[in-house]
Chains A and B, each alone.
Chain A
């Protein structure tokens, strides 16, 4: 038998998937609420071009999670951008091969 396709094409696809499943299980949102929010994002993203179900699918998934967390006042877009930039800086200032650690902003 041929080897099946990997479940996730990129590590971040797996990460954002797991994050969402975990938050659903901790009770942050119902799966049906998630599905309708995600369906709405897919619809919106699909207006400009036809989605192929690969990278663009998880791009829509991530956008939905950001929106849900923003609506619930858990992570605002501004706050997420700050932490994202901090991670970017951490990668750029860490020597290749060394573990990348986020310097805690205080």
Chain B
């Protein structure tokens, strides 16, 4: 890559920021003690950077919208099906699927830290980890949802689910109107990350 305006040369290697050096120090100590396998670290990073993300959750939601039997099974006992789909593992061992309806809108938080269903949604976004979201969505969920552009009608109750290190939640957004003819692949494209946390709605087909 050209550096057209790179007007100072670095006589030595660029010094990483302080926390990066602290992480390197821990890695060195742990490697010397034989407690870590550097290849395993690379594999973990590659997985979460490139392979796992909200597209997994979107597949589940689209299938639930399309297949009533699958939907019923997911709502009662999701783990066998998730294992079958390969969406199982770290931080997704005990999933609870909560479905949005005209009567209830579900939204997920982790008030303790940032527990999140990694196998289905990947690494949580910054706002999910922020103090503002974690403390406020419990106290004033409707207001927080409004700030996300989601207005929940008075007659719909809002239920907030607090994740733990053991139990993680996936919200199934309401299927948008006008999507009757769409196949699963087309439906998947309508299912956003935020809609599966409850801070968004599924997209309309033409959106």
Contacts and interface: CB of A to CB of B under 8 A. Distances in A.
Interface of A: 1, 4-8, 10-12, 14-19, 21-23, 25-26, 28, 31-32, 34-36, 38-39, 42, 46, 50-54, 57-59, 62, 65-66, 69, 74-75, 79-81, 83-84, 86-88, 91-98, 100, 102
A75 B53 CA distance: 33
Contacts of B54: 4
Given A28-B35, A57-B126, A14 B49 contact: yes
Given A19-B41, A74-B30, A87 B113 contact: no
B28 A83 contact: yes
A81 B25 CA distance: 8
A93 B12 contact: yes
A79 to B, nearest CB: 7
B149 to A, nearest CB: 16
B13 A22 contact: no
B113 A100 contact: no
Interface centre among A26, A81, A93, by most B CB within 10 Å?
A26
Given A7-B49, A50-B131, A98-B13, A75 B29 contact: yes
Interface in B116-160: 122-123, 125-133
A105 B165 CA distance: 39
Given A26-B36, A95-B11, A35 B30 contact: no
A84 B22 contact: yes
Interface residues of B, number: 56
B206 interface: no
**DSSP class of A's interface residues: helix, strand, loop or mixed?**
helix
B5 interface: no
B104 to A, nearest CB: 27
B66 interface: no
B24 A87 contact: yes
B203 to A, nearest CB: 9
Contact of B132 (A5, A50, A58, A98): A50
B4 interface: no
Contact of B12 (A26, A38, A92): A92
11 contacts: A12-B19, A19-B30, A22-B41, A53-B125, A54-B126, A62-B23, A74-B35, A79-B29, A80-B26, A80-B29, A91-B15
B15 A35 contact: no
A62 B49 contact: no
A84 B127 CA distance: 31
B12 to A, nearest CB: 5
Given A96-B10, A102-B28, A52 B130 contact: yes
A68 B44 CA distance: 20
Contacts of B133: 53
Contacts of A92: 12-13, 15
A83 B25 contact: yes
